Amino acid sequence: MLALSRRGDGLRNYLQRWEVEVSKASAGSEAAPREGQPSSDAPIVSCSGLHRRFGEGDVAVDALSGVSLEFPKGELTAIVGPSGSGKSTLMHILAGLDRPTSGQVWISGTEITALDDRELTNLRRDKLGFVFQFFNLVPVLTAEENLVLPLKIAGRKVDTSLLEGLLETVNLTDRRNHRPAELSGGQQQRVAIARALITRPAVVFADEPTGNLDSKSGAVVLGLLKRAVDEFGETVVMVSHDPRVASYTDRVIVLSDGAVVHDGKVQSADEVLTLMQGD
Q: Give me the domains of the chain, ranges plus CATH numbers.
A: 73-87+116-277 (3.40.50.300)
DSSP annotation of 40: T
Calculate mean pLDDT across residues 138-154: 94
Angle 213-218-223 from CA coordinates, rounded to 5°? 155
pLDDT digits (tens, 9 = 90+) for 29-41: 443 333 333 344 5
Say what the pTM is.
0.82
Nearest to 236 by CA among 248, 222, 225, 223: 225
Per-residue pLDDT, 11: 34
The C-alpha atoms of residue 278 and residue 103 are separated, in whole angstroms, by 26
pLDDT digits (tens, 9 = 90+) for 92-126: 999 999 999 999 999 999 999 989 999 999 999 88
